[in-house]
Structure 1
Amino acid sequence: MLIIGVLALQLGFITSYIGAFHQPKPTDIPLAVTAPTTAAAERAVRELAALPGDPLDPSAAPDEATARARIARRDVDGALILSPAGPDRLLVASASGASLADALTAVVARAEKARGRTVDVVDVVPDAPGDARGLTSFYLVVGWCVGGYLCAAVLAISAGARPANPARGLIRLAVLLLYAIVTGLLGAVIAGPVLDALPGSVPALWGLGTLLVFAVGALTLALQGLAGIIGIGLAILLVVVLGNPSAGGAYPYPLLPPFWRAIGPALPPGAGTYAARSIAYFRGNGALGPMLVISAWAVGGAAVTMVCAVLRRRATERESPHGAAATAATAAPGSGPGPGA
């Protein structure tokens, strides 16, 4: 059965990654549109919204300053600035993912060409020189997630999948928290000052890493408490098989198929990747929601771990009186065979 489980995880991994990445298609990319007049902006919004396949989700902005502010807040992924004299300008943020900026540029360029106009592209939030294609945030988050479930798995291998009592459960959570604090800091320092691959506040990234490692580890401990050693496989299913391809790393959410686009923000890798990019490039804008998602996994995982520990202790206590009674009966005088046996 364990080998069959491994086979299922392997095939799930192949299916999930290829399914998510084999045919990226832009869908509902948020785009601000501004023009000299409100009527012109609204007309452009209607035209862009009617493009085949719904690649854009355009909305009017009163001026360029407002459009830039919406990009900085991560409310939109780009802005089209219409100019009567031409050429128009497309503002993109490659820090949100180079593949997303490329897809947005391609869609808008085709639309502008169909209208007989040209467009210049301006990257208003570029990724750092050491952050090729904006993937450092994703790989940092993947590393943190791997550490979280491996730490919990090692605790299961060394001391049993299920903690015997609440005290043991608290010890495991305390060890996991200490590990999360250390690896959260080391990951932020390696990605930032050491390799110069990711800008942004090291303390903020440290906090994110600590929370993320603890959340994934607590989730793994909880699944182990519910399903024993099989819980490690279930954690890999959620975090690696489903979570990594839907995290918005190589292809941000608007480029993913509907299933992966829907689950990505609710899983730790997706929430972590979005928050890491927000901290690194957008002054933390947009990070609150993902941080709350990760916090929910952390609190839920810790709570389930402790509940499983309490229930196991009670089950052990219910069984122990029978064992004690049997032992007493066996040891009682006259309970065994007589001297002439």
Structure 2
Amino acid sequence: MGGLLASVVLTRLVRGSTRRVTDVCGFAVAGGLSVTAILQFWLGALNGSYWANSGAVALTIAATSLSILGLMSVLGYVGFGLGAATMMLIGNPLSGTATAPEMLPGRSGALGQLLPPGAGGQLLRSTAFFDGHGVTRPVVVLAAWLTLGSVLCLAGGLRARAAGATVEDPADRATA
């Protein structure tokens, strides 16, 4: 949910692809620090290193936000709908975060681990309860989504600039 919120707010308030990417990263760090502080110190739901857990949450928020923001930069509000549906309606149920991905039917748990909610849940579980064992795969998955989102954001900005548009992305053009 934090990733969706950041994408919508930044699309409305911030102009320029590079600034949006930078602001998403700042939002992710702030969100990772605050959410982890609540979960670990107030609710006592997490163990392990506060900093490692904060990094896991921040990376998950950044991967989700940048993926959706990138899709919005290229496809406009259709991209937002596609990204939101993928993350919320497919990624969350198939993440296996509430139980375990192995408990989901067929290969759906494995598919869920390839999306940011599943990879983020696995990464947080690894940092909080298993001293960081098993972090490689979720970090690679989240880094791939982060990179894809960044590339899409920058491509959308370059396309708008090349077209000579005064508006930054297709989402802005739809409302202009």
TM-score by length of 2: 0.88
**1:29-81 deviation per Cα after TM superposition (whole angstroms, max 9, x unaligned):** xxxxxxxxxxxxxxxxxxxxxxxxxxxxxxxxxxxxxxxxxxxxxxxxxxxxx
Identify unmatched segments of 5+ residues in structure 1.
1-145, 318-341
Partner of residue 164 from structure 2, selected from 316, 319, 323: 316
Alpha-carbon displacement from aligned partner over 1:124-145 (angstroms, at most 9, x marks no partner): xxxxxxxxxxxxxxxxxxxxxx
Map 1:132-151; keep pairs closer than 5 Å.
Answer: 146-151=1-6
Shift of 1:259: 4.5
Structure-2 separation of matches of 1:183 and 1:274? 18
* Unmatched tracts of structure 2, length 5 or more: 166-176
In the TM superposition, what are the counterparts of 1:186-201 in structure 2 within 5 Å?
186-201=34-49
- Listed as ranges, the matches of 1:287-326 within 5 Å are 287-316=135-164
Selected match of 1:229 from 65, 72, 77: 77
Q: Does 1:260 align with 2:115?
A: no
Paired residue for 1:185, among 12, 27, 33? 33
Confirm or deny: 8 A CA contact 2:48 2:128 kept in the other structure: yes
- Over the matched positions of the two proteins, sequence identity in percent amounts to 32
User: In the alignment, which residue of structure 2 is the partner of 1:218?
Assistant: 66
Is the contact made by 1:245 and 1:260 (CA closer than 8 Å) also made in structure 2?
no
Which has the larger Rg? 1
**CA distance in 2: counterparts of 1:296 and 1:187, whole angstroms:** 23
Larger strand fraction of residues: 1
Distance 2:106 2:12 in 1: 37
Equivalent pairs, count: 165
* Matched-pair contact (CA < 8 Å) for 2:72–2:80: yes
Alpha-carbon separation, structure 1, partners of 2:55 and 2:125: 14
Cross-structure match for 1:246: 94
CA distance in 1, matches of 2:130, 2:76: 41
Q: What secondary structure sits across from 1:248 in the alignment?
A: coil
Q: What SS is found at the alignment partner of 2:94?
A: coil
Distance 2:160 2:96 in 1: 39
1:171 equivalenced with 2:19 (yes/no) = yes
Q: CA deviation at 1:255?
A: 1.5
What is the one-letter code of the residue matched to 2:2? Answer: G
> What amino acid maps onto 1:148 in structure 2?
G
1:155 aligns with 2:10: yes
DSSP 3-state at the match of 1:152: helix
In structure 2, the residue matched to 1:284 is 132
**Superposition RMSD in Å:** 1.4
Amino acid at match of 1:295: A
